[in-house]
């Protein structure tokens, strides 16, 4: 028996979302399913398997360890690691047939020094270009020219060339257009150097669903496969949220006017109020920034009151309810719904911050 706070993951929703996105994309566009950060909190291997069932042909993760975990789970699809790996780990990547991201000549220089010879097989690399996100990737023609000789080594295969947008969810598309133009210009550098990447990709969920014309020959889909809809999509796809978060009251008490609760007496009752305690707190990833959010109890919205504790939070109940009464933190109850997007607004963030923040202490239960 767990403590009764569970994230219920619908595997069918993930599979259906991937399939629906794939079907809506222009012909010939491959779907790379992004399962980093434990599949945005939904379980990496489980999400990867459903993505494969839905028609994904590639997977992506942020770090080498995440890719190794997927291989250990028996996942055989090509996997791209989105963050450059340590040069000393190159043999591990090769042994597990992982594709790596490279951003500059320095990495190759360090890798060759570390290795002291040829690689025992062909290493597939995706070159990352920084067209405006300012995070990772090569930026200048000089950096590109320094990289070219390393890419031409016969144990290296340029499988991809990619960039990532900074404003794909924004109404104003001018910065995105500038990034796309810059990316095209950088692709021109490739052609001029005689390097033909097998795949070119720039779109994540928001760009792919808003501007399918930017799909090139591959898109990297994270948020949307878990049912998080980008703003203003032009592809009308009914995405299904894959995660519900459920708990139940572990204690109920009545407060009278003037009585307070919570650390620092952070809430004071203004009249007679029924208060329920829910076993989830900031150590579960339910951030303090959610202290003014609501939960569902008996199909009604119940506001969180007082500061969120490490292991519990308190809610103001619509009426006296017994301990054991079900509580929904994400999902539907009695015709009411709290979406991860609503919670994200409290955090000035995106729904995937809510789902990926849920710590391992929150049990995942899979339903098909």
Measured from the CB of residue 24, what is the shortest distance to ligand PLP in angstroms?
Answer: 15
* 263 in catalytic set: yes
Does position 80 bind ligand PLP by CB under 6 A? no
Measured from the CB of residue 231, what is the shortest distance to ligand PLP in angstroms?
Answer: 12
Residue 167 or 352 with smaller CB distance to ligand PLP? 352
Residue 127 or 321 with smaller CB distance to ligand PLP? 127
Beta strand 98-102 with 79-81 is parallel
Measured from the CB of residue 37, what is the shortest distance to ligand PLP in angstroms?
Answer: 8
Number of residues engaging ligand PLP in binding (CB under 6 A): 12
Strand stretches in the chain, DSSP E = 6-10, 30-34, 58-61, 79-81, 98-102, 123-128, 156-162, 199-203, 218-221, 243-248, 251-255, 260-261, 267-268, 273-278, 294-297, 300-305, 313-316, 326-333, 336-338, 363-367
Measured from the CB of residue 215, what is the shortest distance to ligand PLP in angstroms?
Answer: 13
Q: Which residue is nearest to ligand PLP (CB)?
A: 222
**Is the CB of residue 158 less than 8 Å from the CB of residue 196?**
yes
Strand stretches in 73-178, DSSP E = 79-81, 98-102, 123-128, 156-162
Rounded to 5 degrees, φ, ψ at 355 are -70, -40
Rule CB under 6 A: which of 125-154 touch ligand PLP? Answer: none
Residue 128 or 291 with smaller CB distance to ligand PLP? 128
Please state whether 59 falls in left (phi above 0), alpha (psi between -120 and 50) or beta. Answer: beta
Provide the CB-side half-sphere exposure for 253 (13 A, CA). 10
Does position 205 bind ligand PLP by CB under 6 A? yes
Does position 204 bind ligand PLP by CB under 6 A? yes
Annotated binding site: 135, 310
Does position 30 bind ligand PLP by CB under 6 A? no
What is the DSSP secondary-structure string of 237-302? ------EEEEEE-SEEEEE-TT-EESGGG-EE-SSSEEEEEES--GGGT--GGGTT-EEEETTEEE
Measured CA to CA, the distance from residue 106 to residue 186 in angstroms comes to 19
Rule CB under 6 A: which of 342-361 touch ligand PLP? Answer: 352
Measured from the CB of residue 22, what is the shortest distance to ligand PLP in angstroms?
Answer: 14
Residue 4 or 169 with smaller CB distance to ligand PLP? 169
Measured CA to CA, the distance from residue 135 to residue 99 in angstroms comes to 20
Mark residues 151-170: x for contact with ligand PLP by CB under 6 A, - for none: -------------x------
Task: Please identify which residue in 34, 79, 105, 249 interacts with ligand PLP, judged by CB under 6 A.
Answer: 34
Residue 126 or 291 with smaller CB distance to ligand PLP? 126
Beta strand 313-316 with 300-305 is antiparallel
Annotated binding site for substrate: 135, 310
* 36 in catalytic set: yes
Positive or negative torsion for Cα 347, 350, 353, 358: positive
What is the DSSP secondary-structure string of 107-132? HHHHHHHHH-S--SSPEEEEEEB-SS
Choosing from 122, 254, 263, 366, which is the catalytic residue? 263
Does position 220 bind ligand PLP by CB under 6 A? yes
Mark the segment that binds ligand PLP (CB under 6 A) among 171-179, 198-206, 273-281, 329-337.
Answer: 198-206
Choosing from 19, 36, 124, 246, which is the catalytic residue? 36
Does position 222 bind ligand PLP by CB under 6 A? yes
Does position 262 bind ligand PLP by CB under 6 A? no
Task: Please identify which residue in 61, 82, 105, 244 interacts with ligand PLP, judged by CB under 6 A.
Answer: 82
Q: Give the C-alpha distances (Å, rounded to integers) separating 241 from 238, 272, 329, 343.
A: 10, 37, 13, 14
Residue 229 or 352 with smaller CB distance to ligand PLP? 352
Please list the active-site residues. 36, 263
Task: Enumerate binding residues for ligand PLP (CB under 6 A).
Answer: 34, 36, 82, 164, 204-206, 220-223, 352
């Amino acid at each position: 028996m767990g403590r009764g706070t569970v994230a219920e993951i619908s595997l069918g929703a993930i599979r259906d979302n991937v399939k629906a996105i794939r079907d809506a994309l222009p012909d010939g566009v491959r779907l790379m399913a992004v399962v980093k950060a434990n599949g945005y909190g939904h379980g990496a291997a489980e999400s990867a398997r459903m993505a494969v069932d839905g028609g994904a042909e590639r997977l992506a993760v942020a770090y080498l360890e995440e890719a190794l975990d997927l291989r250990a789970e028996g996942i055989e699809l090509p996997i791209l690691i989105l963050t450059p790996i340590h040069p000393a780990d190159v043999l591990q990547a090769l042994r597990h047939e992982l594709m790596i991201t490279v951003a500059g000549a320095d990495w190759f220089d360090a890798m060759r020094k570390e290795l002291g010879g040829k690689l025992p097989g062909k290493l597939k690399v995706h070159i990352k270009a920084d067209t405006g996100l300012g995070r990772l990737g090569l930026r200048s023609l000089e950096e590109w020219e320094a990289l070219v000789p390393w890419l031409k080594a016969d144990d290296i295969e340029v499988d991809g060339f990619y960039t990532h947008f900074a404003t794909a969810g924004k109404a104003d598309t001018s910065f995105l257009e500038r990034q796309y133009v810059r990316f095209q210009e950088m692709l021109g550098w490739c052609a001029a150097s005689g390097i033909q990447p097998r795949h070119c990709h720039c779109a994540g969920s928001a760009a792919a669903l808003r501007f399918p014309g930017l799909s090139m020959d591959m898109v990297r889909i994270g948020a949307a496969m878990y049912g998080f809809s980008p703003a203003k999509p032009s592809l009308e796809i009914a995405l299904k949220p894959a995660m519900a978060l459920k708990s139940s009251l572990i204690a109920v008490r009545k407060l009278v006017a003037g009585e307070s609760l919570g650390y620092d007496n952070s809430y004071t009752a203004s009249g007679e109020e029924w208060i329920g305690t829910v076993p989830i707190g900031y150590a579960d990833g339910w951030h303090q920034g959610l202290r003014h959010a609501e939960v569902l109890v008996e199909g009604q919205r119940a506001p969180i009151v007082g500061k969120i504790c490490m292991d519990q939070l308190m809610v103001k109940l619509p009426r006296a309810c017994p301990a054991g009464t079900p509580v929904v933190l994400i999902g539907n109850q009695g015709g009411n719904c709290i979406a991860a997007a609503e919670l994200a607004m409290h955090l000035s963030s995106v729904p995937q911050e809510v789902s990926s923040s849920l710590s391992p202490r929150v049990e995942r239960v899979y339903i098909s």
